[in-house]
Structure 1
Amino acid sequence: MAERVTVADLVENTRLDVLSGEEFLSEREITTSDISRPGLELTGFFNYYPAKRVQLLGITETSFAKGMDHAKLLDVMRHMCQPETPAFVISTQLEPSDELYQAAKEANIPLLGTKMTTSRILSNMTNYLEGKLAERQSIHGVLVDIYGVGVMITGDSGVGKSETALELVKRGHRLIADDRVEVYQQDEQTLVGQAPKILAHLLEIRGIGIIDVMNLFGAGAVRSETDIDLIVHLEAWSPEKKFDRLGNADESSKIFDVIVPKISIPVRTGRNLAIIIEAAAMNFRAESMGYDATKVFDANLNRLISENSKKGPNKQD
């Protein structure tokens, strides 16, 4: 489920200045990440006016408005100030028209400004709103940042996910979420994971209870969110179960529309899972940079077979 975002949140997170309507910031809700550039609307064309979007006016729109008749411009601005319109944003430190001030005040709509260019503030607002308003999926697991690789550890309850995360934190890596990971799709290739607010920075260790990782290990031991690059699934070891030994199983999981690489690790007494997962993250990073140890092994094996074939069978005396 997506988060609730108000104009007050937008102002705080995208460095906007409040020109008027400050008392309405918290009650105006934003329901879409799309931003409108009302150009045709200034000419009086409202057949497809996206009233639910934040309305962004730049140099082109404000320059056009300056040449309009007062009565006509006031009428247009009143049409743009619909009950569901969250806010107006004026870029490049431009001065809004008196007609926009009046119409926004009548409709209790905040009027915001910024020194940033239209392109920059458009990008900032879109990125922020897409992250906040994206559909979310709650996944049972632990999310850790290991050398810049976002690793989500999954597995049945009691398999050792939280204990492994604690060991990884002690080894200098950073915890994002324990028990529940809130996941959303940032773009076509990127998944982002974060902790629910109630569980941020906390780990549950059986026999100890809840521990605050930031309090015990410092601010450098936690992160608020990270991309999910790799899934490590912990499974109880069984002699009947076959696990990948050469690294060519090519497992994956699909979350939303993104395919995430996945590896399965058998859990058995005496195995140091933290070191194994750390090595898996480093190996994933090496593969992302073009080095594949499995291919190197295959090449070495083929070369050895070729050399032995050329020598021929050993002759007996």
Structure 2
Amino acid sequence: MPKKLKVADLVEEFGLEVLSGESGLKRPITVADLYRPGLEIAGYFEFHPAERVQLLGKTELTFFSRLPEEDRKDRAMKLFSHADTPCICVTRGMDVPPEMIEASEKMELPVLRSQVATTIFASRLTGFLENKLAPSTTIHGVLVDVYGVGMLITGSSGIGKSETALELVKRGHRLIADDAVEIRQTADHTLNGNAPELIRHLLEIRGVGIINVMTLFGAGAIRNVKKISVVVKLETWQQDKQYDRLGLDEEMTRIIDTDLPLVTIPVRPGRNLAVIVEVAAMNYRLKRMGYNAALQFTNKLTESLSEDIDDLE
């Protein structure tokens, strides 16, 4: 579930100045979209998205200051009267009209001020809100960056996920998270994974204990956040189960609302899991570039069989 966000979190994150309506700093923020209420200041409130953070820049405030006094009071009260509105943010360090300050105090709606230019502040604020309000979940597994591909290794406890990650780190790849992977889904259905703050850069190896990967292998062996591209499921080898030997049947798995390719690797003595995960990452990259080895093999096999049949005829 996304983290609950309040107006006070914006003040802390961006160092905003609270001009008025301080009693409303506990108002919740529920959407990542921003809105510049230029039409509303001009008097059109029919489709006003009040649930968004309202952003006032030089254009809106200049236009507002040129309205007749009665219109300014009316527009300010209408703009500040919605219970769903989290806050009003003023950029460029501009002065806020007294009508807005008065309406802010009356409706307990915070007015915040930033010294940053409107476009830059809007970009930073949108990125912050999208990250904090994104749907999220925590999965038991290991996330490793292998050849630039985010590989989420899952499986039952004790099957060898952490040992596989350690071998991959020794082979020059990077660890993002071990044991618990926090996953956030962005607006474009991209899944980004990271480690909880408490266990960041740590790896648990049974028989050895907890090790700090950055301390042992250097800063190049870790990464804080990585897009998840493939899920690798480790499972105990089952004699009676038919495993895909060609790779034509691509399995998918769903995390939150996003489908990801699933590679199931049976575990048995003698199999080098780290090398197999490396090959799975390289094979994924080749498929993204348009080359599918299994499909190429099947096509050549079909052509060869067709030629043999033609020769027999």
- Gap change, CA 1:74 and 1:212, over 3 Å in 2: farther
Higher mean alpha-carbon deviation, 144-153 vs 17-26, is at: 17-26
SS state at 1:32 partner: coil
| Partners of 2:293 and 2:88 in 1: CA distance | 55
| SS of aligned partner of 1:180 | strand
Aligned-partner SS, 1:179: strand
AA at the equivalent of 1:112: R
Letter in 1 for 2:125: M
Q: Which residue, 15, 18, 36 being the options, matches 2:16?
A: 18
TM score, norm. by length of structure 1: 0.83
User: C-alpha offsets along residues 291-310 of structure 1, whole Å, 9 cap, x if unaligned?
Assistant: 11112212332333344445
Alignment partner, residue 112 of structure 2 = 111
1:119-138: CA deviation from partner (whole Å, max 9, x where unpaired) = x5434322321221122122
1:141 counterpart SS class: strand
In the TM superposition, residue 283 of structure 1 has moved relative to its aligned partner by: 0.5
How far apart in 2 are the matches of 1:27 and 1:301?
66
CA drift of 1:108 comes to: 7.4
Give the deviation of 1:189 after TM superposition.
Answer: 3.4
How far does the alpha carbon of each residue in 1:29-84 deviate from its partner, in whole angstroms, 9 at most, with x for none? 53331222223432456676555532112344223212123454255435544677
Shift of 1:195: 1.8
Contact 1:150 1:226 in 2 (8 A): yes
1:55 maps to 54
Q: Distance in 2 between matches of 1:241 and 1:219?
A: 41
Structure 1 match to 2:134: 134
Q: Provide TM-score, normalisation by structure 2.
A: 0.84
**Could you tell me how far apart the structure 1 residues matched to 2:218 and 2:20 are?**
37
Give yes or no for contact 2:52–2:85 (8 Å, CA) kept in 1. Answer: yes
Per the alignment, residue 63 of structure 2 pairs with 64
Paired residue type of 2:16: V
Q: CA deviation at 1:19?
A: 4.7
In structure 1, stretches of 5+ residues that fail to align are none
Alpha-carbon contact 2:138-2:183 (below 8 Å) kept: yes
- Once the 2 structures are TM-superposed, how far is the Cα of residue 253 of structure 1 from its aligned partner? 0.6
**What CA distance in whole angstroms lies between the structure 2 residues aligned with 1:125 and 1:19?**
15
- Structure 2 residue matching 1:122: 3-state secondary structure: helix
What does the per-residue CA deviation read over 1:170-207, in whole Å, with 9 as the maximum and x for residues that have no partner? 21212122112222221343122222222222222111
Q: 1:180 and 1:41, CA in 2 relative to 1: closer, same or farther beyond 3 A?
A: same
Find the counterpart in structure 2 of residue 173 from structure 1: 173
Identity %: 47
Q: What amino acid is aligned across from residue 90 of structure 1 in structure 2?
A: V
Structure 2 counterpart of 1:36: 35
In the alignment, the residues of structure 2 paired with residue 238 and residue 286 of structure 1 have an alpha-carbon distance, to the nearest angstrom, of: 29
* Number of residue pairs the alignment of both structures matches: 309
Partner of 2:186: 186
